Structure 1
Amino acid sequence: MKTPSEDGRLADQLSIGFLTSVFPISLLDEVIGVSGCAERRRRALPARLTIYYVLALCLFSDKNYDQVMRLLLNGLAWRSRWVYTWEPPSASAISRARARLGAEPLRVLFCRVTGPVAEPQASRSWLAGLRPVTMDGTTLVVPETRDNSAFGYPDGAARFPCVRVVAVAENGTHALIDATFGSSAVEERTLARRLLRCLESDMLLLARSGRWGFELWRQAAETGTHLLWGVTGADALPIGRSFEDGSYLSRPAGLGGAPLRVIPLPGAEWLITTLVDPGQASASELAARYAERWVMDSALAWLHSDRRGPAITLRSRSPEMVAQEIWALLCVYQAMRELTCQAASHEGASCTCARV
């Protein structure tokens, strides 16, 4: 029978195996080449090993830098039967290697692995031939250093600097489609506007528009995607044709007369959508799908989980390393979602509503 420590080592080795499986060396070399960070001389910590290390930091959030490096090297040795005989690098050497690497390779890696993963036959991942996706945001707390103070303190009351993250996720699988982040001083609507680049005509974007307004609605609609947003005060919208399902058409002046459909909900919230034909999707169907916008909670909450205690979310002490760490977290989350859906597909089940 294995001892608890042996079980722990096996789990650690499997975690490193997970990294090398979903982020193969060929992919890392491609990312390194695109990012222009290939080494001109041989180093003890080459770029590909440093990328694996930054990804491993996300899996072992309760370990310090030295411990994570030892776990990584042991895991690589176990997986490849390679035995290293040199002393693992110090924390300062690791920090220098991370600084040489920068954030760009992890951003490029995220762009390579991100995207929807739902299969066409996954009925819960589609509605009226459209792929429901949700946009939402959160803030991540970073260590208080002179450099990190540039991220700002939300509302002037926060104890630590914060980074604002906004992402779009596929509802059925919780897989990330795109993400961006910036200083907490940057308005969420500004970051949300960057993510309009990821929208496609076969998507249905779910969001709460209270903090974004009709301007972002108009810009999102111009991408060709369909929209389903929760709003307050929709009873002030002009009422046009009414439908049997309780919804009605409206042509707000702020949208230049473009039609939208209004769906009353219990309480003070209403839904507005570009799906103006009830035959395409009924009010009850749209309300049920809008209730699933909580899928973003699992993605955004995972960025917070078990990260250096209840206060500090990230561990990096400079803006460039914070960006590197955030991209790495998003990469690892996306890889875990894809593996979960692959496993569900092999079992003939749906990964809809599965949580990491």
Structure 2
Amino acid sequence: MKTPSGGGRLADQLSIGFLTSVFPTSLLDEVIEVCGCAERRRRALPARLTIYYVLALCLFSDKNYDQVMRLLLNGLAWRSRWVHTWEPPSASAISRARARLGAEPLRVLFYRVSGPVAHPQAPRSWLAGLRLVTMDGTTLVVPETHDNSAFGHPDGAAGLPRVRVVAVAENGTHALIDATFGGSAVEQDTLARRLLRCLESDMLLLARSGSLGFDLWCQAVETGTHLLWGMTGADALPVGRGFEDGSYLSRPVGLGGPPLRVIPLPGTEWLITTLVDPEQASAAELAARYAERWVLDSALAWLCSGRRGPAAVLRSRSPEMVAQEIWALLCVYQAARALSCQAAGHSEALCACARV
């Protein structure tokens, strides 16, 4: 591929252009001001540049620290038509700059760019007037260091420490609405409870319950959102009124609140939902939408594809930097989804014009 005059591949320069377009300097300056991390003296690596650098780490996951900094500086020079003449800072200087910045600015940045993006006619994003959203979780591997050992290992297993991440995303666009994370010893339902804050009454939450019990179900119902969860063992639920589509009403013994509707699936999995009226959503419609639910593993896999191993591996060597890197990873993922949806919208508009 042709090399721009600033150095580096054109694709790399465009990747940096993507960062500066989606995360303009005005947004970063706002985040820096909110977090109170503006510099009191001039530094070679100011907070704004450090944020761009942490985001770039996620784009170039197969590059080392020095290589990412060179790509970032070359990309910024190419985009703004200026030429930097200084040597990129050392890896130790980069680490100190990241430590000064901390994780909070990246967390704030994530909440500036996160949120649903589907328009009312977006395919696979709505059912019965409800916005389809999915809650899912995964684990990320972190380097084995003394500090990172605090994250623990799943089920006490040997190997590298892991961080458990849980997120809620739109089912059709895969845009992130909220996310949280903790050490591998933190149960997924504990993290899931934190995300109940993002649920709205016009949503239908899809999830695979797994270990998530009916306690979490009841808490989610109290938010006013509608639920569609996959689970095993639902055949043990009391059978109430049946419907022509094969679903039936039930109420687990000892469970307060409104009844739920049970939808048998092939195999050992069942669906349970708060949508108790088949006229609102049939069993077939609900099963089809559940099969299309968003999956966090595959969502983050493309960003971590340059890192070896069966699971995504982060590079940060302390909990604060791990948190910083995770928020940056979620920011870049969200930005890519928003850009993809924007491009799809332009494509639909062009198609509509062509039909006129």
TM-score higher than 0.5 here?
Answer: yes
Quote the residue 1:72 is aligned against: 72
Contact 2:137–2:297, Cα closer than 8 Å, also in 1: no
Residue 299 (structure 1) shift: 1.5
**Shift in CA distance, 16/257, structure 1 to aligned 2, threshold 3 Å:** closer
Contact 2:116–2:175, Cα closer than 8 Å, also in 1: yes
The C-alpha deviation readout for 1:209-242, integer Å capped at 9, x for no partner, is: 1211100000011001000001111121111111
Quote the residue 1:258 is aligned against: 258
Residue 312 (structure 1) shift: 6.7
Contact 1:58–1:328, Cα closer than 8 Å, also in 2: yes
Contact 1:70–1:88, Cα closer than 8 Å, also in 2: yes
The C-alpha deviation readout for 1:163-201, integer Å capped at 9, x for no partner, is: 010111111011111110000010011001101011111
Counterpart Cα distance in 2 of 1:79 and 1:4:
10
Counterpart Cα distance in 2 of 1:256 and 1:109:
39
Higher deviation after alignment, 202-211 or 290-299:
290-299
Quote the residue 1:170 is aligned against: 170
Quote the residue 1:352 is aligned against: none
Quote the residue 1:96 is aligned against: 96
Counterpart Cα distance in 2 of 1:77 and 1:262:
58
The C-alpha deviation readout for 1:234-277, integer Å capped at 9, x for no partner, is: 12111111111111111223421521111111111111100011
Does 2:62 match 1:62? yes
**Shift in CA distance, 244/22, structure 1 to aligned 2, threshold 3 Å:** same
Counterpart Cα distance in 2 of 1:28 and 1:7:
26
Quote the residue 1:277 is aligned against: 277
Residue 41 (structure 1) shift: 1.2
Quote the residue 1:243 is aligned against: 243
Quote the residue 2:135 is aligned against: 135
Q: Given the two structures, how large is their TM-score scaled by the length of structure 1?
A: 0.94
What amino acid is the match of 1:172? G
What amino acid is the match of 1:28? L
Residue 127 (structure 1) shift: 0.3
Higher deviation after alignment, 142-151 or 233-242:
233-242
Counterpart Cα distance in 1 of 2:318 and 2:259:
47
Does 2:111 match 1:105? no
What amino acid is the match of 2:36? G
Counterpart Cα distance in 2 of 1:133 and 1:212:
17
Contact 1:308–1:314, Cα closer than 8 Å, also in 2: no
Contact 2:174–2:294, Cα closer than 8 Å, also in 1: no
Counterpart Cα distance in 2 of 1:254 and 1:343:
49
Instruction: Give unmatched runs, 5+ long, in structure 2.
Output: 350-356
Quote the residue 1:329 is aligned against: 329
Counterpart Cα distance in 2 of 1:166 and 1:343:
27
Q: Given the two structures, how large is their TM-score scaled by the length of structure 2?
A: 0.94
The C-alpha deviation readout for 1:81-115, integer Å capped at 9, x for no partner, is: 12212211111000000000000000000000001
Counterpart Cα distance in 1 of 2:82 and 2:5:
22
Quote the residue 1:354 is aligned against: none
Quote the residue 2:145 is aligned against: 145
Quote the residue 1:232 is aligned against: 232
Counterpart Cα distance in 2 of 1:213 and 1:44:
51
Residue 6 (structure 1) shift: 10
What amino acid is the match of 1:64? N
Residue 296 (structure 1) shift: 3.5
Residue 28 (structure 1) shift: 0.2
Residue 311 (structure 1) shift: 6.7
Q: Secondary structure at the match of 2:106?
A: helix
Quote the residue 1:30 is aligned against: 30
Higher deviation after alignment, 308-317 or 286-295:
308-317
Contact 1:99–1:321, Cα closer than 8 Å, also in 2: yes
Instruction: Give unmatched runs, 5+ long, in structure 1.
Output: 350-356
Quote the residue 1:48 is aligned against: 48
Residue 324 (structure 1) shift: 0.3
Contact 1:232–1:269, Cα closer than 8 Å, also in 2: yes
Does 2:219 match 1:219? yes
Counterpart Cα distance in 2 of 1:339 and 1:62:
23
**Shift in CA distance, 344/312, structure 1 to aligned 2, threshold 3 Å:** closer
Contact 1:61–1:307, Cα closer than 8 Å, also in 2: yes
Higher deviation after alignment, 83-92 or 314-323:
83-92
Counterpart Cα distance in 1 of 2:212 and 2:104:
29
Q: Secondary structure at the match of 2:39?
A: coil
Runs of 4 or more, structure 1, over 6 Å off, are 3-7
Q: CA RMSD in A?
A: 1.9
Counterpart Cα distance in 2 of 1:133 and 1:89:
43
Counterpart Cα distance in 2 of 1:251 and 1:104:
43
Counterpart Cα distance in 1 of 2:180 and 2:235:
33
What amino acid is the match of 1:99? A
Counterpart Cα distance in 1 of 2:249 and 2:182:
37
Contact 1:174–1:296, Cα closer than 8 Å, also in 2: no
Q: How do 1:108-127 and structure 2 match up within 5 A? A: 108-127=108-127
**Shift in CA distance, 206/310, structure 1 to aligned 2, threshold 3 Å:** closer
**Shift in CA distance, 81/218, structure 1 to aligned 2, threshold 3 Å:** same
Q: Secondary structure at the match of 1:169?
A: strand
**Shift in CA distance, 16/4, structure 1 to aligned 2, threshold 3 Å:** closer
